[in-house]
């Protein structure tokens, strides 16, 4: 091999260097065949000047293609995937001052904003991208690898330059599934003596080397284990990403509905405060007319003050919750955010029916559909393969080694005489005398396998426990909501009846105050029960892995839900 250039020597400018430069110039026409022979090397030099942006584009194309293929193969909805942040995102528009108010927003719009602006969502996209990028590297390792290089050297003694040389080489490397490693190399050597002023000497060489493991490291299952693991890691990342999208959507819905609940609480407090103001004004007028005692006036005033204090607290809590929601969505807190209250009305008007599912069928469906449980099962299989790989490493190393090399005649770089091929054939054997590292790795792989088995059992039990709890919470919250709806109707009738009796003189102010307090509590409790039921149902669908995130919002897989409906207890 030609040594590297001495950059310090190249920096000196002696007379011999100038002589060599003139010699190169005068010999240009005589060296035309040599220049033609080096044309491919010059082309490689131009190729090496590829811009970083081009490499980035290549990486993106390869990674995005893998993600799209894996998502399609796993049956997930095909949609554009990119880790590039949207330049026209809502956050960008707010920061640019293009808008200061957003809303009223429905749940589907909040889901879209969260997916576009959420920092956590971006982290998940990048994790999936990086898994696909790692796979491109492992695929490259088992693909034909091309390498090329150029080297120039000026050498001499003291301040005299004696020899100038230029080398160009190109080679191919390939690892086969059997473990064989094939290396080919083609080189061009251009040398000129600056002392004798002879012409350029051009030679070329061609070589081939093959190494085939026969014991440790042989066989496709062992050799391609890194590639197999990288392929499976992408599958895990795709599942994790899809499960995150579903869980994230449910999380957005939970925050959205809780915010609607707090807004409804503020509205109820405002209505209650307005009614107490009217009652206090009525009592003050009656007291001035001598028809009502000061005690009942003070009772109305006291309840009005308590209501005003609760209203102030409720408004502050609502504002804090809105700011938290903005941060969660990835929006600046300076933006004014308004939610569509009709979503709450629609929830209250819908009839959820009955949830008469068979609990055993519910738990079985969860184990069948949960993406994280599938990953856990597959990682157990990964651990089993790792045991086989670690056991293989305990064997002796025996490699079959073969090589062949050719050199051209001087000045005739393309003229090879195959009868002059230099070849070698042999073996390289290493006894397994010291295998402490391999022994420990094998034992660790066995322990890791047992850990993965326990992980599967634990996750399976946890999933079934969570599903049972979510199923019970859903039915309990449904019944609580129905009870609270009746409680609101009863409290409204009580307020109306008490008000009529108060006007007729058959009831005291305290009776109406208590009735209105009961109505306020019933209204807030009914809204909370409605939201609790909705979130418990979403949690059940999420834990069953039948939630689907579509452009129209959160949907439920109709086929899987139908399976549950058919499995009646």
pLDDT the model gives residue 268:
95
Say yes or no: 457 and 561 in one domain. Answer: yes
pLDDT the model gives residue 346:
87
Sorting pLDDT into bands at 50, 70 and 90, what band is 431?
confident
**Distance separating alpha carbons of residues 75 and 559, to the nearest angstrom:** 14
**Structural domains of the chain, count:** 3
pLDDT the model gives residue 294:
87
Sorting pLDDT into bands at 50, 70 and 90, what band is 3?
very low
Question: Could you tell me if 491 and 450 are in contact, meaning their C-beta atoms sit under 8 angstroms apart?
Answer: no
Say yes or no: 265 and 193 in one domain. Answer: no
Which tens digits make up the pLDDT trace of 84-107?
887 788 888 888 888 888 889 999
Say yes or no: 275 and 193 in one domain. Answer: no
pTM over 0.85: no
The whole domain housing 535 covers 352-395+437-569
Question: Could you tell me if 462 and 373 are in contact, meaning their C-beta atoms sit under 8 angstroms apart?
Answer: no
**Distance separating alpha carbons of residues 449 and 252, to the nearest angstrom:** 37
Say yes or no: 108 and 38 in one domain. Answer: yes
Say yes or no: 270 and 164 in one domain. Answer: no
**Among 288, 320, 350, where does a domain finish?**
350
Domain CATH for 553 = 1.20.1600.10
Helices (H) and strands (E) in the chain, counts: 17, 10
Strand order through the sheet with 201-213: 145-157, 160-175, 181-193, 201-213, 397-407, 422-430
Which tens digits make up the pLDDT trace of 314-326?
999 999 999 999 9
**Among 350, 385, 409, where does a domain finish?**
350
Say yes or no: 335 and 238 in one domain. Answer: yes
Sorting pLDDT into bands at 50, 70 and 90, what band is 49?
low
Say yes or no: 190 and 87 in one domain. Answer: no
Say yes or no: 425 and 508 in one domain. Answer: no
Average pLDDT over residues 530-543: 94
Sorting pLDDT into bands at 50, 70 and 90, what band is 37?
very low
**Distance separating alpha carbons of residues 428 and 86, to the nearest angstrom:** 56
**Across 31-40, 185-194, 478-487, least confident range:** 31-40
pLDDT the model gives residue 374:
96
Average pLDDT over residues 327-331: 89
**Among 317, 350, 383, where does a domain finish?**
350
Question: 145-157 and 160-175 as β-strands: parallel, antiparallel, unpaired?
Answer: antiparallel
Say yes or no: 566 and 453 in one domain. Answer: yes
Q: How far is CA 534 from CA 54, 243, 473, in A?
A: 49, 20, 11
Say yes or no: 245 and 294 in one domain. Answer: yes
Given a cut of 70, whether residue 29 has pLDDT beyond it is no
Say yes or no: 26 and 39 in one domain. Answer: no
Say yes or no: 166 and 123 in one domain. Answer: no
**Across 180-184, 269-273, 350-354, 495-499, least confident range:** 350-354
């Amino acid at each position: 091999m030609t040594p590297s250039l001495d950059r310090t020597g190249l920096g000196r400018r002696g007379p011999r260097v100038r002589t060599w430069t003139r010699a190169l110039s005068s010999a240009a026409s005589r060296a035309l065949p040599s220049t033609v022979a080096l044309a491919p090397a010059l082309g490689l030099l131009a190729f090496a000047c590829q811009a970083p942006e081009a490499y980035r584009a290549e990486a993106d194309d390869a990674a995005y293609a893998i993600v799209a293929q894996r998502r399609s193969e796993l049956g997930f909805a095909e949609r554009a995937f990119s880790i590039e942040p949207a330049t026209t995102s809502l956050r960008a528009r707010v920061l640019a001052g293009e808008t200061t108010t957003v809303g009223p927003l429905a749940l589907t719009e909040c889901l879209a904003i969260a997916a576009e602006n959420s920092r956590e969502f971006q982290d998940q996209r990048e994790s999936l991208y990086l898994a696909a990028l790692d796979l491109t590297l492992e695929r490259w390792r088992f693909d034909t690898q091309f390498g090329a290089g150029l080297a120039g050297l000026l050498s001499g003694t003291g301040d005299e330059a004696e020899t100038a040389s230029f080398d160009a080489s190109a080679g191919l490397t390939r690892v086969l599934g059997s473990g064989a490693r094939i290396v080919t190399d083609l080189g061009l050597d251009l040398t000129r003596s600056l002392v004798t002023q002879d012409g350029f000497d051009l030679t070329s060489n061609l070589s081939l080397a093959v190494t085939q493991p026969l014991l440790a490291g042989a066989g496709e299952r062992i050799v391609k284990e890194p590639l197999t693991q990288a392929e499976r890691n992408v599958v895990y990342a795709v599942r994790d990403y899809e499960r995150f999208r579903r869980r994230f959507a449910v999380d957005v819905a939970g925050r959205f509905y809780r915010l609607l609940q707090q807004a409804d609480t503020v509205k109820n407090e405002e209505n209650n405060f307005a009614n107490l103001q009217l009652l206090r004004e009525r009592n003050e007028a009656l007291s001035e007319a001598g028809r009502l005692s000061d005690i009942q006036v003070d009772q109305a005033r006291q309840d009005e003050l308590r209501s005003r204090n609760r209203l102030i607290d409720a408004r502050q809590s609502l504002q804090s919750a809105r700011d938290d929601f903005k941060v969660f969505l990835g929006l600046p807190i300076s933006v004014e955010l308004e939610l569509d209250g009709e979503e709450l009305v629609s929830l209250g008007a819908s009839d959820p029916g009955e949830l008469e599912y068979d609990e055993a069928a519910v738990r079985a469906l969860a184990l069948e559909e949960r993406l994280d449980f599938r990953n856990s099962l597959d990682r157990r299989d990964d651990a089993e393969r790792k045991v086989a790989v670690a056991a293989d490493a305990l064997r002796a190393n025996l490699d079959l080694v073969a090589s062949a090399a050719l050199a051209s005649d001087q000045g005739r770089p393309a003229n090879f005489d195959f009868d002059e091929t230099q070849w070698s054939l042999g073996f390289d054997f290493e006894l397994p005398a010291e295998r402490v590292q391999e022994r420990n790795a094998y034992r660790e792989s066995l322990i890791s396998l047992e850990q993965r088995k326990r992980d599967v059992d634990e996750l399976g039990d946890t999933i079934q426990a969570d599903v049972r709890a979510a199923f019970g919470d859903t039915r309990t919250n449904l019944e609580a909501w129905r009870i609270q709806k009746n409680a609101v109707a009863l409290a409204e009738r009580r307020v109306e009846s008490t008000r009529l009796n108060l006007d007729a003189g058959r009831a005291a102010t305290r009776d109406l105050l208590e009735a209105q307090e009961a109505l306020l509590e019933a209204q807030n409790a009914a809204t909370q029960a409605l939201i609790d039921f909705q979130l418990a149902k979403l949690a059940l669908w999420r834990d069953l892995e039948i939630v689907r995130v579509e452009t129209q919002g959160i949907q439920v897989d109709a086929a899987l839900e139908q399976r549950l409906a058919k499995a009646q207890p």
